[in-house]
Amino acid sequence: MKNLIVFISPRKQLYGEYAVLIKVQIDNALDLGWKPEDILFVTNFNYEYNGVKSIIVGDKNFCAVRPRSIKTSIIPHLVDEGIMEDGKVYWNHDFDAFQINPMSVSELGLEGLDAGFTDYGWRTRWCLGSAFIKTSARDIFTWLRDGIFVNLEDETILGKITDRNTHKINSRIKKMNITYQIGMRHVEHNYELATKPLKVLHFHPHKPGLLDIFMHGKNGINTPFMTDRMIKVFHHHGLK
């Protein structure tokens, strides 16, 4: 499996919380056993940290109307350029979607399928902040890309094509357990739905109160969601 993180910007540099979060992502992944060559940080500028070098793509991949959806819209380009390879699974995720525990391809259950997506757990709407993708899903992401560039929400587009079962998409994708995307809302409800141990937490650590919920256990079940190992990585980068 490959760990895919995308950041395309006209500034051609990381800024604000992104400059911290990419280091958290890389250090956390390495600590979990990912090899540097399996961490794919796709950018439009040079970057290197802790043995991981950016994979540079063209500025044309920037989407001014929906910059947060570039990790979705760029997939066809990554397939066409050979950056994504046949026969591999890519975990494509936001900067603030953090892996907690090890994940394996075998546990995903994607044999014979093209992609795996979660919903929001508490809400039956697709969530694309943490997804598992193969190159065979290129056409699906082409539909999503085309909508994104005319300012449509990628999750809304995915909902429409699955509701209509466009090109029999529903036989090609899997709804993943919410353990791969525990988000910021209704965390107690999602915790109950999730298979354990939890695999991915998706929250903004710089937003007030969220570290209390996920790191310090100030939630409805009085339980920290982060492991001691992960907390050490966060502390190393000043997130307490």
Task: Convert the pLDDT of each residue in 96-122 to its tens digit.
Answer: 999 999 999 999 999 999 999 999 999
For the chain, what's the residue count? 240
Domain assignment of residue 218, yes or no:
no
The whole-chain average pLDDT of the chain stands at 97
Among residues 93, 85, 81, which one has the least CA distance to residue 41? 93
Domain assignment of residue 123, yes or no:
yes
User: How do beta strands 52-53 and 55-56 pair?
Assistant: unpaired
Domain assignment of residue 208, yes or no:
no
Domain assignment of residue 186, yes or no:
no
Percentage above 90 pLDDT, the chain: 100
pLDDT at 110: 98
* Residue-number span of the structural domain to which 34 is assigned: 2-176
pLDDT at 204: 96
> 177: which DSSP letter?
P
Q: Give residue-wise pLDDT tens across range 153-176.
A: 999 999 999 999 998 999 999 999
CATH code where residue 15 lies: 3.90.550.10
pLDDT at 116: 98
pLDDT at 29: 98
From the number of C-beta atoms within 10 Å of its C-beta (0-12, 13-18, 19+), residue 76 rates as buried
Which regions of the chain are under pLDDT 50?
Answer: none
Our count of domains for the chain comes to: 1
Domain assignment of residue 198, yes or no:
no
Domain assignment of residue 233, yes or no:
no
Domain assignment of residue 226, yes or no:
no
Domain assignment of residue 239, yes or no:
no
Complete DSSP assignment for 20-76? HHHHHHHHHHHHTT--GGGEEEEESS--EETTEEPEE--GGG--SS-GGGHHHHTHH
